[in-house]
Structure formats: structure tokens, C-alpha cells
Amino acid sequence: MRPDDHAELTPAKAALIVAGSAGETMLDYQTLCRRSRQLAAFLKSSSLTEGDTVAILLENRPEVVVAVWAAQRAGLKYTLINHHLHADEAFYILRDCDAVALVTSAALAPLTAGHEALESLKVRLVADAAVAGFSSWEKLFDSDAGSEPLDPELEIEGAMMLYSSGTTGRPKGICYNHPRQKFGDFVAVRNLLANGFAMNADSVLLVAGPLYHAAPMSWSIGAQRLGATVVAMEKYDPLECLRLIEAHRVTHVLMVPTHFIRMLKLSQAERERHAIASLQYVIHAAAPCPQDVKQAMLDWWGPIIYEFYSSTEANGFVMIGPHDWLQRKGSVGRVTYGKIHILDDDGAPMPSGQPGQIWFESAGAGFAYHKDAEKTRQAYDAQGRSTVGDVGYLDRDGYLYLTDRKSNMIISGGVNIYPQEVENLLALHPAVSDIAVIGVPHHDFGEEVLAVVVAAPGAEVSERLGQELIDYCRNRIAHFKCPRQVRFRDELPRTAAGKLVKRLLKEQYAAA
């Protein structure tokens, strides 16, 4: 379906509500439909053709979904750029994605200022205020011109081309091998939400994270294909999240583990301030969730917490519900379509309980890395199975347990060590607020294990605490897996989705 269908049935219904410091802004289905038509017509009149790329550099605000739906109905690719990036990082994506149009805001336009890539853009639109070299977003919608649908032959489904988060290297654009479809025919995410999480036109989805990430945006537009209302936050705040759940009778919430952790730090009085009885599904993904954190959320919110494991490449989907998780704590579930294989470095299958690289078979339309044929080739094997480099194992019933990313694996004295196992253990220590485990160079063993720790409030940072954490590990797992050193810092480099950017830590501590 299309937002157009809901604009006809329920024109005044909220398609998106954005809550921020200045209050709430509502975009109804009628306005979303009209403005996305106008913008699509403008882009086409500006010589953009099917398959061209629109770069979207915006905060969580209504203009994001208008721009996305305009590209989606005009057969264009669109790349959402993380607005927390440094100017050089944002420019790298703007140039690499071959953008011919850019939609941004007055506050974020300086991220691209002075770069030669701007000269090649056919369209430069800015919201909020006048910026030299940009056309005004507001003036584009002053009239009803272009509010009629495009020629049906031109209304072709567009596609995301998102960039990986760059946790292990330079971010890469990810292209999906979807067939050419008429606008309204793309059903993959819509069907996932409807069949997997019972979402429908009466649902209200709260997206706790930034809309430039894969799951928040794909779930938002999937929900809008169903006619649901999406609630987004300018910036995550746990108490505000609870208020929004009560105020809008939210039925579905999409979160990441760091949102849970901040939620659990609320006082009992704050937790009880708002009713959450409307919640039906709370779904989390994007990063490993410590077992005690998930258990605490289940104890508070009840058996409505679901987890899925996937990737920006969308080459597979694994899901687990609350009851299954309580029986298999630590699992991310079973594959929902296609097949999953755990293989060693030679492509041989690993037995149950033994970790290996995770490969998916026939679990999607396929993907390719933009401008990187070699990386694309490495992601597939001779049988057409694909991997994103994650490591894990299956139990006898086919439930998947994640171990780590292959690129994060530490090889010390010829032995493979998976940092996530150590991180999950140290995360349970009361003196640890956040934790990263990495390998650093060692002249004899090649690498040794280093723990980088953010101490919990009230914990005294000292050599004594560092030794306590090392001993804590040694009393619970094999000594060769345990940190030989502990370093303390105020915070860890994480993306807004909660993913740890380990390459930055590796670069810093390897140099040290």
C-alpha cells in the first residue's frame, strides 16, 4: 500500500508525530501525501531520473519522511546521513553515494559547506532559514502545484541506499537487489510488521532512535504503508519516552539496549509516573543486550519484549519472543525465512554449540556494496550464501547465539578469543557502566586482551579496581580469555544506535 491510500481514507490522521523541546509537531497523511507528491514532481522537473540518489541530512523532523516518500514514489535512491558525523565524514558519504540532490536543514547545512561535491548537485534544499546556495524547502510548498500524482509510469518504488555505521572501517553504501516495482508494490517490511508483530492501521509505533538508521526509518515507512501512526523523538530521554507511550497510547516501541539501560536508571517514582498499559510489543535490536538488562525490563514491562537480529544488508532475519528467550537466555532466536549456516573459515559446517561465521541462504533479495566489487565478492560464497562477518553458534534446536564480529576477534598466541563473551561478563560487574574489550599488539602473543571501562557512578577508578575486574573474569572464565590490562575512560565511542565503534579504540590503544 501507499500513504496515498490512507490520505484518502483518513486524511487528518497523524502519519508522524515528532516530540521535542519545543513541543510536538504532527504531519497528517493528507499533508504527507501532498508534499511528497510535490517534492517528487520537483525532483523530476530538476532532471533527476530513475535510480539517481537523493542525500537526506536532517534531524528527526517531519521533513525526513516527506523527502523519503518523495524519493520512494519517484524511483530514486535515497541516502540518509548521520547528522552527528564530523563534516569530513558527512562529506565522504555525500560524495561516495553519487548524490545529485541534497535535502538538509539550516543547522546542518554547514556540514557540507565549501565542498566541491555541492557544485555537482542539481537540487539543494534547506529547511528553516535561508542559506546561500540552497533553495527554500518552505517556498516549494507554497502552492498546490505538483500535488497531483506523477504519471503512473513514473511512479516507481525507490530504494534506500544506507551506509554501514563504520564500526570496523569506512562506511560502505549498501544497495539492495529488489526488482523494479510500481509504487505501492513493495511489501517486505510492511509484511514483517503485520505478520511478525501484529501491526495494523490502529497501531502507534514509537521510534526511540534516530531516523537516519536502517531499522527506525524502514519500520517507520513500513508502519505508514499500513496506515499506523509513528511517534519519533528529537532526542531520546527515558522519562519522555514513558510520557509519549501514555499520551499517544503507543502499542509498539522500537529500541536498542542502551535505551533499556537508561530506562532502568529511572527511580521507582519516575517509572510509575506514566501508564504503559497500551504496549503490546517492545522490539529491540542493533546491539547485544546484556542478559540482566533484558531480564530487568521483562520484570518491569512483562512478557512483551521481542528481539531480532539482522543487519543493514538485510540478508537474513532472526527473531525471538519473550517466552522463548526466558528458556534460552542469550539467544537471538531462530531464522524466520531462508536458512542459516554456521561455517568455519574453510566453509565446513560447525557442530551445534561451536562458533563459526554466520551465513544466510536465500534470505532476501541480495545486496551489493556500492563501488566495492571486492567487498561484495567476499560477502558471498560459491553457493550464493551471504555473510556480514558476524560470528555465532546454533544450539540443537536451531536457536542462534551471537559471539562477536569476525573483525573483532582477538588472536592471542594462536588462540581465538571473542570479546563479546568477556564484555557480557564484565557488564554484570556493579562497578562497570560501559565496557569494550579489544585486542592490542603484544610482542610475543601477537595480541593481548585489553578491557576499556567506563566506571559506574560512585565507583573509585584505580589500579585496584582494574585488578578486581581482571580477577572477576579469571574466577568465571578461562584465564586466556581474560583482560591482561584495564583502562578507564569517561565514555566509549558509540553510534546513536548504541553500536560500539571499536576501530577508534583499536587505533588509539594500538598507537599507545
pLDDT at residue 156 in the model: 93
Q: Residues with Cβ < 8 Å from 367, sequence gap 6 or more?
A: 174, 175, 176, 177, 313, 314, 315, 376, 379, 386
Q: How confident is the model at residue 1 (pLDDT cuts 50, 70, 90)?
A: confident
Mean pLDDT of 180-193: 92
Instruction: Decide if pLDDT at 347 tops 80.
Output: yes
Q: Where are the alpha helices (DSSP H) in 387-493?
A: 419-426, 463-474
Task: Tell me the pLDDT tens digit for each residue of 449-485.
Answer: 999 999 999 999 999 999 999 999 999 887 888 999 9
Q: Does domain 407-511 have CATH number 3.10.450.50?
A: no
Beta-strand relationship, 53-57 and 318-320: unpaired
Q: What is the third-level CATH fold of 3-12+31-181?
A: Rossmann fold (3.40.50)
Task: Tell me the pLDDT tens digit for each residue of 382-421.
Answer: 999 999 988 899 999 999 998 877 678 787 866 778 788 8
pLDDT at residue 446 in the model: 75
Residue 473 and residue 283: Cα distance in Å, rounded?
A: 31
Mean pLDDT of all residues in the chain?
90
Q: Residues with Cβ < 8 Å from 235, sequence gap 6 or more?
A: 20, 60
Phi, psi of 230 (to 5 degrees): -105, 130
| pTM of the entire predicted model | 0.83
Task: Tell me the pLDDT tens digit for each residue of 37-92.
Answer: 999 999 999 999 999 999 999 999 999 999 999 999 999 999 999 888 878 788 88
State the Cα torsion 337-341-345-346 to the nearest 10°: -110
DSSP state of 406: G
Q: How confident is the model at residue 117 (pLDDT cuts 50, 70, 90)?
A: low
pLDDT at residue 421 in the model: 82
Grid cell in block for residue 144:
498546490
Residue 477 and residue 474: Cα distance in Å, rounded?
A: 6
Residue 223 and residue 243: Cα distance in Å, rounded?
A: 21
Instruction: Decide if pLDDT at 167 tops 60.
Output: no
SS (H, E, C) 98-119: CEEEEEEECCCHHHHCCCHHHH
Which residues of the chain are in CATH 3.30.300.30 domains?
407-511
Element (H, E) at 416: strand 415-417
Which residues of the chain are in CATH 3.40.50.12780 domains?
3-12+31-181, 187-337
What's the sign of the alpha-carbon dihedral 17, 78, 283, 280?
Answer: positive
Q: CATH second-level architecture of 187-337?
A: 3-Layer(aba) Sandwich (3.40)
Phi, psi of 179 (to 5 degrees): -70, 160
pLDDT at residue 178 in the model: 87
Q: How confident is the model at residue 152 (pLDDT cuts 50, 70, 90)?
A: low
pLDDT at residue 416 in the model: 72
pLDDT at residue 67 in the model: 98
Phi, psi of 86 (to 5 degrees): -70, 155
pLDDT at residue 119 in the model: 78
